[in-house]
Every structure is written in structure tokens, then in C-alpha cells.
Amino acid sequence: MPQQILMIHGGMTFKNEEECLSYLKNKKIELDRITPHDYWSRNLAKDLGESYLMLTPKMPNSTNARYNEWKVWFENILTVLDEEIILIGHSLGGIFLVKYLSENKIDKKIKATFLLGAPFDSELEEESLADFALPEDISGFSAQAGKMFFLHSKDDPCVPFEQLEKYQKSLPSAEFLIFENKGHFNEEKFSELADLIRETFSQA
């Protein structure tokens, strides 16, 4: 059977409706961002081949996400997964996985967790983390996450590189892969991630 990989995508969250509406009104629109694109998350399944099964559920209300809604949906998804899984979290999806696994125990074996452009705290320019904010103790994450990989680009325009440095201090046992020009990983291809996954499990 193919190895299941569960991908939790990014999103935005705000403290209140007023903050959300202000963001929507004042956000500069880039035409390139609202035209159809085939992002890496859709191509990863092709890159990995038949040995892996990519699962990419749509998380609730991603434009104004609420942690409890994501938590309930995530727990529902877990009920249909195999006993051994791989997790990928991008942006808000990354901090969601850190928070959830820090606060909850799951009955699955997580073989590895890959987090891309994940925020650590609310020191962001345009939005807060609202109820996605991490607890003080995130040791529950490292205890359950399997092999931990954090991927971040120095030119990330959404999540400053300093956020990765905070994960480096809090989770020194994780592996950290630093890129120079990947932005917020909003590109069509990300072959480095496919290579990392294959390399990690070819050595298992």
C-alpha cells in the first residue's frame, strides 16, 4: 500500500471581523496571484510516484480561519487514515500542526513532519495568529511528530525568516533546511521536498 501523506495548507486568521474586513479592503491585489496556477502541492504526488498517496483536504474557511474548526475537521480526517502517516504543513497549516500535536495526542504513528514557511508567533506584519497561537510548551509536538523538518526561505514575504530561528531555539532536535529565493513556497514545482521525502524514507 502507498504511504499516506496528509498535507495541511495555509490560510489567514484574524482577531476579529473588523481586522479581517480591513485586510480584505486594503490588501494589494496581484493579478498573477488570482489566475489559475498548478502549485507544488498538486504536483508533489506526481513527483513522488505511486509509492506515496497525497491527501490534500480543504480546511474550513481558510480566508478567516478558526483553530477550533480546523481541529474538529482534522480529527475527523484522522479517523480514515492509516496507522502510519507523514504530515506536511504549509504556513498556517504548519503552526496548526505544531499547536495541535502540542496539545493533543493522536492514535497514529507520525513517521515525519515537514513544515514549510511556518510562523512561530504573532510578530507578523499584516495579520495576527489569533487562536492559532502556540502554547508555551510545545514538547508534545516533538514527542509525536516523528522526524521533524522545517523548511524556510530567507526571502519569505509572508513569514519573516526570524520566525524559523525561533523554532531552531525551541526544537533543536529538528532539521532545518534554509533556502535563499523560494519566497513563501508559492511555486509550481518544489522538487527539493520530493527529494527530501524520498531520501528520508530510503534510509529508514
| Domain annotation for the chain: domains and CATH numbers | 3-202 (3.40.50.1820)
Collect all residues with Cβ–Cβ distance below 8 Å to 176 and sequence separation of at least 6.
149, 150, 151, 152, 164, 167, 168
Residue range 164-179, pLDDT digits in tens: 999 999 999 999 999 9
Output the pLDDT for position 122: 72
Ramachandran region of residue 115, left (φ > 0), alpha (ψ -120 to 50) or beta? beta
Where would I find the beta strands (DSSP E) of 38-90?
A: 52-55, 84-90
Q: Which residues pair with 199 in a beta bridge?
A: none
Cell of 134: 502556540
What is d(CA 126, CA 143) in angstroms, rounded to the nearest whole number? 32
Give the pLDDT score at 177: 96
The pLDDT, as a whole number, for residue 29 is: 84
- Determine the average pLDDT of the residues in 113-121: 96
pLDDT band with cut points at 50, 70 and 90 for residue 124: low
Q: What integer pLDDT is reported at residue 14 of this predicted model? A: 87
pTM for the model: 0.92
Q: What is the pLDDT of residue 36?
A: 60
Structural element, H or E, at residue 92: helix 92-103
In the chain, what percentage of residues exceed pLDDT 90? 68
Mean pLDDT confidence for 169-193: 92
pLDDT of residue 19 exceeding 90, the answer is no
pLDDT at 203: 55
